[in-house]
Amino acid sequence: MIRKTVSNVTEALSGTKDNMTLMLGGFGLCGIPENAIAELVKQNIKDLTCISNNAGVDDFGLGLLLQKKQIKKMVSSYVGENDEFERQMLSGELDVELIPQGTLAERCRAAQGGFPAFYTPAGYGTEVAEGKETREFNGKMYVLEHAFKADFAFVKAWKGDEAGNLIFKGTARNFNPCMCGAAKITVAEVEELVPAGTLDPNQIHIPGIFVQRIFQGERYEKRIEQRTVRTR
């Protein structure tokens, strides 16, 4: 067994520097690496390029990094829930690259799997395809999209073991598995870290080979963005 455990979030973030490109898992506030984000805020690492489906809300998730102007560029598919984000983008303070959600996921997975690029129909005929190579396959047009290059991937799983094997829960899975192994260093934070041999190998979602560091998050707020219920 190759151990991937680090003792705390500070050790997990060792090597992160200004100007780096980071991948961060999560969809909305669901399945985000809360502890890694808090530590990035604490260490005040700046001029970051962040690849993440969303940008959090004003006072949680990546919104915390935006508040402190630590992000230079966001690469996302949807940013509708964050006023500070919209303000920084429209004023030109923040560079933003908006990417179709499936393309975002696939650009992560291409990096994980060693594909330099791939063709997708998403965005053909729109400004997303401007300046990009296009090609016809079987009578339909496709756009060439490239694998991401990132320094760190911060992902969040439900359970993990010392070997870095991960199990996700519910829709908190989202982009997290796609980002594992898609950056030079993948840091996984989990709600519950267990000894190797505890998790059933049949139930592992992401094998530990894609993870370089793993730690148990100190606490999880798991904030709900849109609490919707029905009456009994």
Q: Which of 8, 10, 134, 171 binds another protein (CB under 8 A)?
A: 171
Q: Which of residues 61-90 bind another protein (CB under 8 A)?
A: 76-81, 86, 89-90
Total number of residues that touch another protein (CB under 8 A): 59
Q: Name residues whose C-beta falls within 8 Å of residue 142's C-beta, 6 or more positions apart in sequence.
A: 119, 120, 121, 124, 134, 135, 136
CB of 44 to another protein, least distance (A): 27
The C-alpha atoms of residue 152 and residue 15 are separated, in whole angstroms, by 9
Residue reference for tokens 């919707």? 228
Q: Residue 142 CB, nearest distance to another protein (Å)?
A: 9
Would you count residue 39 as binding another protein (CB under 8 A)?
no
By CB under 8 A, tell whether 219 contacts another protein.
no
CA–CA distance, 188 with 113 (Å, rounded to integer):
18
**Calpha distance 83→208 (Å, rounded):** 37
Asked if 128 touches another protein (CB under 8 A), the answer is yes
Tell me: does residue 104 bind another protein (CB under 8 A).
yes
Rounded to 5 degrees, what are φ and ψ at 108? -70, -50
Please give the DSSP secondary-structure letter assigned to residue 27.
B
Under the binding rule (CB under 8 A), the answer on residue 100 touching another protein is yes
Pairing of strands 152-161, 166-167: antiparallel
- Which is nearer to another protein, 128 or 204 (by Cβ)? 128
Residues found near another protein in the complex (CB under 8 A): 27-31, 53, 76-81, 86, 89-90, 96, 98, 100-106, 108-109, 120-128, 158, 168-178, 205, 222-232
